[in-house]
Structure 1
Amino acid sequence: MLLNVSYSDKNITRKIDEAVGKPFTLKERFAMNGIGSPKLHIAQASVEINNLLLLDNNLNTCNIEIRPKGIIVRFRSLLETYGLVIPYYKLNLFKGDLAIHSIYMDHYFIKVHSDTKAIQKFFKKLLDHRTDNMPTSIEDL
């Protein structure tokens, strides 16, 4: 789901926590060597996301936060921050040509440049975490 996460709203926080889990504790973050991605440059995006990105003339960048049951892809448009909340069971990742990683959920997608070792290392960490925490049955959702 695509949400405006600029402001502290209990309903939005509750929706995010239900979909992808509560944020990791500080101790868990240290154990994982961080849960956030480096700055990712957006190469292409779905229509809804692209319409938001076209509103300003800034560089189109995003970052990814790993949560226990999914990820949040955050990007900025004008003075607002938006989050694409993706549970692991809806997440599809593809590595394409020319060092591009594609992140898909339902009808949303974001394609980002993955031209550095740090970004490739982060995507490997994300895939490993997803494999370890993917629901095994419908009751786990």
Structure 2
Amino acid sequence: MLLNVSYNDKKINKKIEEAVGKPFTIKERFKLGGIGSPKLEITQASVEIRNLLILDNNADCCNIEMRPNGIILGFRSLLESFALVIPYYKLTIYKGDLGIYSVYRDNHFVKVRADTKAVQKFFRKLLDYKADNAPTSIEDL
């Protein structure tokens, strides 16, 4: 689900919380060693996301926030903020050649460069958390 999150809209916040859960508490954030990714350089994206990114001349970058039931991939275009909300059961991550990670949800995808140890460590933490906390059957949803 690709959303414009520039404005504090209760309906959009409710949609996000229903899909990926409420944000972690401070205690949980410390326990996990942080829930946000470093700045990620976007190398490629699906058509809908690419059309938003080419509207300005800024560098294409994003970040990922972990939530209890999924992730939020956030990026900016012009003066607007957008979020790709991905529950864990729809999240697919591939590690490609040359340190490129591909993050997929249905027909949306973003490919990011993982050229530092911090980025690789974050993706390892994300994949481990997903494996430990993702629903194992349809009844768990």
TM over 0.5: yes
Deviation at 1:92, TM superposition (A): 0.4
In the TM superposition, what is the alpha-carbon distance from 1:140 to its structure 2 partner?
1.4
Map 1:1-141 onto structure 2 (within 5 A): 1-141=1-141
Q: How much does 1:139 deviate?
A: 1.6
Question: Quick one: which amino acid aligns to residue 28 of structure 2?
Answer: E
TM-score by length of 2: 0.99
Paired with 2:65 and 2:140, the residues of 1 have a C-alpha distance of: 22
Q: Please give the secondary structure, in 1, of the residue aligned with 2:98.
A: coil
Distance apart, 1:126 and its partner CA: 0.2
Identity percentage over the alignment? 71
Q: Residues 11-40 of structure 1: CA distance to partner in whole angstroms, max 9, x if unpaired?
A: 000000000000000111011110000000
**Matched letter for residue 128 of structure 1:** D
TM-score under structure 1 normalisation?
0.99
Root-mean-square deviation over aligned CA pairs? 0.4
Mapped partners of 1:85, 1:17: distance in 2:
10
Aligned length: 141
Find the aligned partners of 2:137 and 2:121 in 1 and give their Cα distance: 29
Q: Distance in 1 between matches of 2:6 and 2:140?
A: 30
Amino acid at match of 2:139: E
Q: 1-side partners of 2:31 and 2:100: how far apart?
A: 28
